[in-house]
Amino acid sequence: MTALGERPAATARTGSTALDLVLRFRALGLVLALAALVAATTAVNARFLSAQSLRDLLFAAAITVLLATGMTVVVLTRGIDLSVGSVLGLSAYLTGSLLSSVGVPVPLAILTGLAVGAACGTVNGAIVHFGRVPPLVATLGTLYVFRGVVYFVAGGSRINASDLPGAFLDFGSGTVLGVPYLFALAVAVLAVVAVFLSRYRSGRDLYALGSNPEAARLSGIPAGRRLMGAYVTCGALAGLGGVLYAARFGTVDASAGYGLELDIVAAVVVGGVAIFGGSGTVVGAGLGALLLAVINNALPVLSVSQFWQQAIVGALILAAIALDRLVGARTARALRRKAAADAD
């Protein structure tokens, strides 16, 4: 009788262990791919591992890591947010405008950028949840709407670095112990979100919602609130990305962040977050963002044409999706066999 009562727990532990091993192997694979690519590029050009080159690499990866963190939260729920590039552009331009034209304090401008992103995320979440519009369609529409707002607000003008406060620009180009402030901030945000997803019930609810939405609702999970929270989080981090973009580049126009959403989705998928929802980690997404940054910096050094750079990223996305489907199918079969064996 005791053994019968323990079977579900044992099965659950087996499934959890199998999933943990898969996720760790995926992260290890990304680390090995990073190491191999860096080694190959350094063999061709030793300056690739110079201090300045590494700083430039981290600068390039910072915003992608930040936005990939927010995108992961949405993708875990079986959603997607294709508007993040437009949200970043809107936040960057409004933040720059407040600092250059209005002269508001830097902290207030940063909070405004965050609020703009959160508002855009709220719009996306409301359309998906209350309007019952598929996330792909909803956020594809808001991608163009938000970009149109940026062009309307900008009116063909741009903000120059000379118009922005020196302290703001210093933060965008500064480092601590050789690590850019921007990258350190992105990693800190990633760590907070990772803890939230793994340690807090509302974070674990996102996995349940993505794995089986109907079962999650029947078990009492407030699906609407969780979905809205995921989109608001993604929007807020895209808004923060806009603030960092303005600080990093200084010059901001209506094209800021144009096409960035494709890089973010690629980083998330390559990082092992299942595009069908329910599995993955922000750590994996962060490693995926770092891998893409290394690819973009390494392939020109290896004299690979721009066409092949894009083709390689596309191949990585297809391989990651195929691997997710293969792992999911094999894990499901293993769990069914285990359940059958326990029943016998």
Question: In this predicted model, what pLDDT tens digit does every residue of 238-260 receive, in sequence order?
Answer: 999 999 999 999 899 999 999 89
Residue at token pair 């529409």: 141
Would you say residue 6 lies in a domain?
Answer: no
- For residue 284, how far is the Cα from the chain centroid? 10
Cα(316)–Cα(312) distance, integer angstroms: 6
Would you say residue 314 lies in a domain?
Answer: yes
pLDDT attached to residue 306 = 73
Closest by CA to 244, choosing from 191, 185, 178, is 185
Would you say residue 41 lies in a domain?
Answer: yes
Please give the residue range of the domain that contains residue 206. 14-343
pLDDT attached to residue 26 = 67
Would you say residue 177 lies in a domain?
Answer: yes
pLDDT attached to residue 11 = 39
Cα(113)–Cα(328) distance, integer angstroms: 39
Which residue ranges in the chain fall short of pLDDT 50?
1-16
Q: What sections of the chain are H helices per DSSP?
A: 2-44, 51-75, 84-97, 106-129, 135-154, 166-173, 181-199, 201-211, 213-218, 223-249, 260-270, 282-301, 306-343
Cα(93)–Cα(146) distance, integer angstroms: 12
Query: Which of helix, strand or coil describes residue 116?
Result: helix
Q: Give the list of residues 6+ apart from residue 12 with CB closer than 8 angstroms, or none.
A: none
29: CATH = 1.10.3470
Closest by CA to 187, choosing from 290, 291, 37, is 290
Q: Give the list of residues 6+ apart from residue 208 with CB closer than 8 angstroms, or none.
A: 215, 216, 219, 221, 278
Would you say residue 1 lies in a domain?
Answer: no
Cα(3)–Cα(56) distance, integer angstroms: 58
pLDDT attached to residue 344 = 66
pLDDT attached to residue 309 = 74
Longest dimension (CA), the chain: 76
Residue at token pair 């993040």: 84
- The number of folded domains in the chain is 1
Would you say residue 5 lies in a domain?
Answer: no
pLDDT attached to residue 327 = 66
Would you say residue 247 lies in a domain?
Answer: yes
Instruction: Decide if 243 contacts 114 (C-beta within 8 A).
Output: yes
Would you say residue 130 lies in a domain?
Answer: yes
